[in-house]
Each structure stands twice: as C-alpha cells, then as structure tokens.
A and B are shown apart, each in its own frame.
Chain A
Amino acid sequence: MIALAPALGLLFLSAVPQDESPRRRLILENGAIVLAERLPEAKSLSVQLFAGVRGVSEARETHGWRHLLEHLVLKGSDGKLDDRMESQGVFFTGRTYRDAIQVEFTGRTDRLESILDAIGEILQPLRTTPDAIAREAAIMRHELAGVSDSAKLSRTAWQAAFGDAGIDPLGEAEAIAKATPDALEQLRQRHFSPHNLVLVVSGPIDPERTAGILRKRLEGLEGTESGTRPARIGQPGRLEADDCFGEVRGGLVKNLRDAGAVLCAAYGVAARLDGAYVTYTPTDEAGLVIIGRTDANNTVGEFIDRLEEGEQAAIFPIGKLLAERWLAGQLGTPSGSAYLRGYLQVQNAALRPEELLEAIRKTGWPEFKAALGRFQKSYTVIAVGVKG
C-alpha cells in the first residue's frame, strides 16, 4: 500500500506545466478578434469561430432561433459544405451556448486555407426559405427529443437559478418552427457582426504568420456594434426536471475568477462519489458549477450536506489537483485551448483562461471551505429528476 500524502505533495509541485505557448492576438478595426496559438506537439489544427451574444438576447417567443441559425449557416452556400470538408479530411461541428455560437473545424495544418474558405461561406448572408426552415425545425425536434438526462438536469438548474435569463440555448420546438427567413437574417447580422466575432487557430503553426492570414479573412467584414450582453443574476432554488433520472447541485459563481475555488470544491466532491461529474462553462457572467449524477437520484446532496470538517479537509487537496488538471488538460490540446480562449474572448477581450488557473492555484483551505458551502442545501441550486 502506498502512502497518499507524499504522493499528493509531489504532484502539487509539478501538477501543471508552465504555459509557454506563443500566441498572437489582433483586435481588428471592425471589432473582430483573431488569435493564433502555437502548440508545437499537436498533430492537428483546431480552427474555431465564435459569434457572441451582444445585442442578441433570446426571449421565449424566439427561444431556439440562435440554435436554428447555427444549423442553417453550417450548410454553406450549396448545402454540401460538410461533404466538401470531409472529402479533405476536415471535420466540423457547431454548438450553441448561452454566450456564443461556436463553429469548430479540425484538420491538418495544410487545410487551413480550405477551412478559412468554409468560414467565409458561413459568414455570408443567409439564403434560406420557409421550406428549408421547416425541414431543419423538424430535424431539431429529434435533437430536442434526444436530450440527455444530464442536459435536462443542467437546464433545470439554470432555470432555477436565473429564470428566463438562464434559458437553455437549445430552444423549444414550437418557437423554432415560427422563425422566418428575414428574421433569421436579421439575427445573423447581429450575431455575426464583426464586434461579436472571435476567430482562433490553435495547433502546430507560426502564430505571427497565421494571425496575419486570419486578419485578411476578417478585416473586410462590416457591421455596427450591436449592443450589450444580457445580464444574469442568480439565486438559490430548487426545481424538478421532468422525465429524467438523477440529481445536480449547482454552485453559484459571479464570474470567472470566482469559479476557481468552486471548481476545486466540485471536483473534490466528485472524486469521492463514484459516477459523479462536474460541468462548468467558463463565463465572465454569473454562472453555475454543477456536480451531478444520472445513475442515482439522492446521493449528491446527501453527501454534501453531511460532509464533516475532517472529510472536507480530506477532499481539499484532491479537488484542487483535479481542477488544475482539468484546466491544464484543456489548454494542452488545440481543441480545448481554442475553445477556452475563444469562448472567453468573445465575452470580454481581456479574459484569459490563465485567470481561472490562477484562481484555482490560489485556492486555500478557507476559500475551499467557503466554496463547499455554495453546494449546501440552503445556498445552492438543486435540480432533481422526476418520472414524466
């Protein structure tokens, strides 16, 4: 048997390598940001376009239009963009988050120009028809029907914490079906306005040269500054999630730095609970760090509420270690690093994932203990699955 304490001590000394990856960022005159990052050992290139939500708040009657827009723009000019990219060994996908639409391409470095051509197509005005919208809305009904239990619990927790300001980005089928070509084009103009755009390339590239290439692709775009981001104010609460199994607790966080200690606490708890997971989407706004289980429906809260000080102290080092390793792991891959950097910069040009890393590293026992409190019954956000 091996003693735990010395092993942990050694790991803390060398847990996360220093970030020496050179990067080049340019803020263009039209407001768009381009960022090129060199990860010399990476095998692939990750190219990610982010379209932020300044001036693009979503209401109940338009709930899911952003998601629909993501589906439609990814089809490209001839509806066969995916086929053309895959024939070059490039895979791409889109995701709609609360704070941005993300389009991610993965390919070899010699495919950069082709990928940027594809992004050029995505940024063109939307040419769609009511029939095409109806077809896509029908496909999205299948997507919404297949939402996982963890996603249902998460969206319920967000609803409990933030009300309508936290509505799930996937949307509602009925609202999606009511979108029109004109309304979607207007939405696209605001969502994909240069002020809302961040383009990131991460991989084995020359940052200076690549940033120049990216600049040429985006500097000609025109658009007006499109407003502010919708604010979120969170509060503790409890809601039931229909027709799913499991339980989540959400720790309320005010911003990115505030999330550091809360992530440590979440990982500490999850390490102790077999089958538990942690989710957090980095944001400059108020958000949630979620601890959940979908294979049991009463163990997460029970465990947290009964945690005695001795056990809290025992999970402190492992929670901190796992949070650091999660973030370092993300920053070590083209896909993870481009996502974190792009998603943060599209919210606030000054934000960097290193701030979160620093907050995690600075988390001491008092901060950890206080962060655990954010998951305790009276202060947390709870979502539990119930039979439909």
Chain B
Amino acid sequence: MIVLGLLIASQQPAAPTVTVSELVEPSAKQTRVEIVVGLPDQDRETWACANVLARVLTQGTHNYTSYQLLTYATLAGDPIRIAAAQDHLRIGFAVPAGDLRLALELTDELVREALVPEEAVTAAIDELPFRRRSPWLEAWMPWKMDPKQLGRDDVLALYRRAFRPGNVSIAVGGVLPQGEARRTFAQRFATWQATDQGRPRRGAKVEPVTGRAGMTTISVWGPVVSPIPAVTTSPAESYTLAEASLACVMLGQGKGCSAYRVLRERNGWSYRQEAMLRPSQDGLQAGLVFGTSMGGDAAELAARARVQLAEDVGKWGEPERLRAMELARATQELGLPLGVIALSGERPLSQSLEDRTYLEAYWRARTGRSWNWKALLDDMRRVPLERAKAFAIEWLSTGTTTVIVGR
C-alpha cells in the first residue's frame, strides 16, 4: 500500500515553501482563499487537537483582535470556515472581489500569528465533548473526543508543527489578476522559517460515537483509491479514481441510484442514503451511509442491505450508467448540489467557487497537481461498466460496516 501523505515536502526537499495556486474567475463576486494544512500525524489524538485548534484560530492574532478577524473575514458576506478533517485542517474565507491585500493579511495572520489564547483553548476543550454534530457528520467522521487532558501547549505544538512551509497549501480563487496571488503570497512566505516544537503530548481520548436520539446510521466503508489518476493504492485491484467515482454515483447519488431504489423505495429502511469518497491516510475511501429509525438489530439490517445492494449492482446496465453520467455531467456543468468528494464534512464538494478553491488547495497538497473536474468526468466516461460494478461489488462484499445506534 502506498502511503501518500502530503506530497509538498517530498517534492521540494531543498527548500520547502508554501504552495500557492490560483483559480482566476473575473466574473466571480468575491475573492476566495482556501488554506489546507496537512495534519502531521495520522492518528485520532492529533485529530482531537486539530479540532481544538480549529475552534481557537480566530480568537485573536498578534495584530488582530478576534472581532477584527471575524469582521474582515466576513466582509464578502460569507462566514469564515475552519474545520478539522481526517488528514488536514481547512481554513476558508472570502474577501471583497480583488482585495488581495486583505486576503494576504488575513492568511498571514491565521497561518503564522495566531495567539491560541489559554482561555479560548480551555473553553473549546470544555465544550467539545458535549458538542452535538448531525447524525450524518457523525457517520462520516464516527469518533467523539474528550480532550480534557490537553492543554494550550499541546494545541500550540500542533500549530507550530503543522503550520510550516512545505505543509501549507493555499488556493486563491475568483477575482484576481493572473499570477498576482502566486507572486505576492510566495513573496510574503518566502523567508518563513517555522520551528517544529514536537508532537503534542498524547492526552486526548477519542472513542467511537455512540449515537443520538431516534436515528441509527449504518456506513459501509469500501476500497481506497489514489487521488492521482492511474496511480492506485492497491495494485492487485488497480481501481482508479474515475472507477470509484462512477461507482459512487451509480450506487449512492441522486434518486435513481441503487441505494435510493433498494433501501428507500423498495424496503422503506431509510429516508436519506448517499455514497461519497472521504479523505483517509492512504487516499480517498469509498463510503456508503444511510440513516434509519427502525429498531431491531442494526448489524443484521446492514448485512441485508449489503446483500440486496450487491444484487442490484449485479443488474447494472447501460441505463444506470447513462443516468449516473448525466447526473455527474450536470453536477459539473450546472453546479448541482451533488458531488463525489466530501473533504471535511457531510456535504459533497460542489461547483461553487468556494468548493472548487478548497479542492484546488487540497489536490495540490495531496498530489502536487491541479484539481480538474472535467478531466475526471472524461475519465469516468471511459470507465467500462464492468469496472464500476467490480468496484461496487468489492465495496459491498468486503467493506467494513460501522453502525452508530440511535437511542
């Protein structure tokens, strides 16, 4: 198995720098900044620490108060978004169209100058164990954390360890002169020398989620594919991103997919069901999630669902493939609220400027390449039906089931 990690550092061993990419769109209404910071250690304790950090990053920097940060970062009308995902921390915000100076200032403050104040860390640590997430977010990120043994030192250590040249990917999208963001951002961070102060001490407790009222979620986790086209993490099976993406749409996207027809319409087991790819240490992992309020043995229900879905996959033909490709095409061309990749939440990344800029920053970090929806769509068109079926069958027959039982 190839461990991808973040590729930025390994591609530029001599002098690691901040990766800056651009998505120039003169007709956009704003300028968008998305920052992806790789989590240096792939364990759940680091993830817990990253969650605390995500809560306190806006609580003041050396040059801005919390109020100023929140005010500046919402001038374009969107809230600032900071979230911890399995393999990265995401910071996203928008500034008024063309205001690269403000974009650069805010980026610099958040990336290098955060105060991580003691009282904010304490408040975040107190709140996190009680924080309620939607059943869907819990299903996609099925861990809860109790970080009360963490302290400011741990959070600061992660900040210093993760926020460093070679581990930060910035994408700037929307209204900006071609090349200007690359030039100014690269210039600003050219002399940045961060000091790694070591790993956080291991104090957080991270456990599987135990469920919430009325709703049980059942997830089936399938194969992992590389985000790099034609590079696979599992050479024996050699599945590609395009094959996994097509299987995702056919199995669990839209109202004509297998999961909708079998789980909802035929059996009445669920209202919502979806398949997407989520980030993991080794690449992108296929996941199918459905929610149910039925009582009884959820593990047994999961087993029945897997069998019936696999039978349905076995019957896939050209009509199912046509539906999936038309939906994927419309998602890309028209900006439907669908998509195959969910990076830091339950929501698939769409064709909005925000999501495309976020994907650009992430893709650069993971692959060293630019995100290209159109290329993926072209690759999906070339996938033989049998390959999509084989991927889905392997997913359903050998995947891991996670059940979060509702009370």
Contact = CB atoms under 8 A, between A and B. Distances in A.
B271 interface: yes
Contact of A1 (B63, B71, B254): B63
B254 A149 contact: no
Interface in B321-347: 322-323, 326-327, 329-330, 333-338
Most buried by B among A8, A88, A277: A88
A331 to B, nearest CB: 12
A18 interface: no
Interface in B51-67: 55, 58, 63-64, 66-67
Contacts of A314: 67
B256 interface: yes
B330 A91 contact: yes
A108 B329 CA distance: 11
A288 interface: no
B255 A83 contact: yes
Interface stretch (A29-37, A138-146, A247-255, A364-372): A138-146
B195 to A, nearest CB: 24
Given A87-B326, A91-B254, A318 B74 contact: yes
Interface string A262-293: 00000000111010010000000000000000
Most buried by B among A4, A243, A325, A385: A325
A295 B330 CA distance: 34
A90 interface: yes
A342 interface: no
B291 A142 contact: yes
B264 A4 contact: no
Contacts of A145: 213-215, 291, 293, 406
Interface string B108-136: 00000000000000000001001110111
Contacts of A48: none
Given A245-B132, A246-B132, A271-B71, A7 B256 contact: no
A271 B334 contact: no
Nearest to B131: A295
Given A1-B105, A145-B406, A244 B72 contact: no
Interface in B234-292: 254-256, 260-261, 264-265, 268-272, 291-292
Given A43-B335, A87-B319, A107-B330, A245 B68 contact: no
A224 to B, nearest CB: 34
B132 A149 contact: yes
Most buried by B among A139, A143, A243: A139
A322 B102 CA distance: 17
Contacts of A148: 134
